[in-house]
Structure 1
Amino acid sequence: MLEVRRSGDTVVATMRRAPVNAFDPALIDAFHAMLDGLEVAPPTVLHVRSGERAFCAGADIKMMREYFPLDDCAARMVAHVARMQTLFDRIERLPLVTVAEIAGPALGGGLELALAFDLRIAGYSAALGLPEARIGLVPGAGGTQRLTRLCGAGTAKRIVLGGDTVDGATAERLGLVQWAVPDAELTAFAAATVGQIAGLSGTALAAAKRCIAAPEAPIDTGLLIERLETQRLYENQDTRDRVHAFLNARGGGT
């Protein structure tokens, strides 16, 4: 599910949850287990990539289908969103450089995962978006907060309110990723970038991260708002109708 390999001061984690690395509790647990190991022996850089056809396509449809008919659906989904928030916050706060190599779709929770990283490198054909409004929800795992802080309210509104999915080249122009490269060059470019970072001082990089983050206001308030809005939306009939239609349209797939 999460293949972790260490070489010197670099840790490469490859997501292998077929077919699209959908986020479920098991994948969250796998990430936490990896982070536990990093705390024991911190590397200089963490490089996360995908071994599947998507970087990460967001929430697990099978899990949503299981929860949706239940009376406590809203509570279960909010708990899942809170676990994702906790994981992404932990990634963001790591005292090392984090790099996301984005090939294929990074949608919903998948983009929210990428937004928690320091650096994002996308292939030209990558697809980045936060489409939750299409089924009556909000990006509840940090998407509204991190995207706005990263790219500004205008771009956040384009992606969230407009339901816009952008390719890698457009994402670079918007500031959503730092680099976009031809798909065939993505793996080599990401590896070279990670290798360059690994040769720098880990202590200095950790200090630099703290300095860069210092001007930002606490994210906790925004995350609380996301959870409260997610709770309210899962109890809203229009949202329930949209989610129901979405799940039916997907059939038995993930």
Structure 2
Amino acid sequence: MATRTNSLNGVHIMAVTNRLSVIRQSPAYWRVVIDNPPFNLFDPEMFAELNVLMDEFERDSDLKIVVFESGDEDFFVNHHGLERGHGAADQPGGASFDHWPTFVTRLAQSSVISVAKVRGRARAQGFEFALAMDMRFASRERAVFSLIEVAGSSIPGGGGVEWLAALIGRSRTLEVVLGADDFGADIAERYGWVNRPVPDSELDAFVDAFAERVSRFEKRALEVGKKLVNARAGVPSEGDL
């Protein structure tokens, strides 16, 4: 996995090829742009880069908040793709998909605040990825959520069931999981897994303003606040997943 760094208008950019670009808006606030054309499939290379990125989050004492977004307005993150097999052992961070519960648990319990800015489809593993984050803001016109595993004779295995059940309750979780259908941002908010839908034209500015605000607060207060909420909200453990 190669990296390159440069700056644009004072913003430090570290591009992590081939799937993720990290834009350092400030030492405390990073944006991670996901780009794996043509469908933003969650593949072994993307998983390896995310594992390396989590290591960077945990090493950086200045980082407070990270926003994950897509470079493709039609797909946030899609279901997993296995064209190259189940792992990416030839690159740093490479791991088979049975390590997915370890990653999402690290993300949910990290001292860094994570935000999903969802534009386009968040499907299967992509939906679980968004659910593992601390907050989700969605494009009212473009966001689509679906857990499609049951339609393929499988079940969500990386937190979809556990997080949804904690957020929206038993009956609605059964509707989402067993129906394997698409849900827009308005229903997602009404059911309770999206913080709020935002008009697509306003989404970038809204999330950026929120992240900038949070990034100015004291890190220890943010970390303890997240830990206390996690303890009371029933965040699933790696063993649960």
TM-score, normalised to structure 1, is 0.78
Q: CA deviation at 1:194?
A: 1.0
Task: Name the structure where strand makes up a greater proportion of residues.
Answer: 2
Q: CA deviation at 1:207?
A: 0.1
Equivalent of 2:175, from 158, 163, 169? 158
Q: CA deviation at 1:156?
A: 0.9
* Contact 1:106–1:129 (Cα < 8 Å) also in 2: yes
Q: Report percent identity of matched pairs.
A: 30
Give RMSD over aligned pairs: 1.7
C-alpha distance after superposition, 1:102-131 (max 9, x if no partner) = 000001000000001001000012110101
Matched, 1:19 2:35: no
Structure 1 residues 217 and 127, CA gap change in structure 2 (3 angstroms): closer
CA distance in 1, matches of 2:224, 2:217: 12
Matches for 1:1-254 after TM superposition, within 5 Å: 1-6=19-24, 7-42=26-61, 43-52=63-72, 53-60=74-81, 62-63=83-84, 80-124=96-140, 125-215=142-232, 216=234, 219-223=237-241
* Contact 2:144–2:185 (Cα < 8 Å) also in 1: yes
Task: Name the structure where helix makes up a greater proportion of residues.
Answer: 1
Over 6 Å off, 4+ runs: none
Higher relative contact order (CA 8 A, sep 6+): 1
3-state DSSP class of the match of 2:83? helix
Q: CA deviation at 1:20?
A: 2.3
Q: CA deviation at 1:90?
A: 1.2
CA distance in 1, matches of 2:97, 2:147: 14
| Greater C-alpha radius of gyration | 1
Q: CA deviation at 1:85?
A: 1.6
Which amino acid is the alignment partner of residue 33 of structure 2? T
Instruction: Show structure 1 runs of 5+ residues with no match.
Output: 68-78, 224-254
* Contact 1:88–1:113 (Cα < 8 Å) also in 2: yes
3-state DSSP class of the match of 1:101? strand
CA distance in 1, matches of 2:69, 2:176: 23
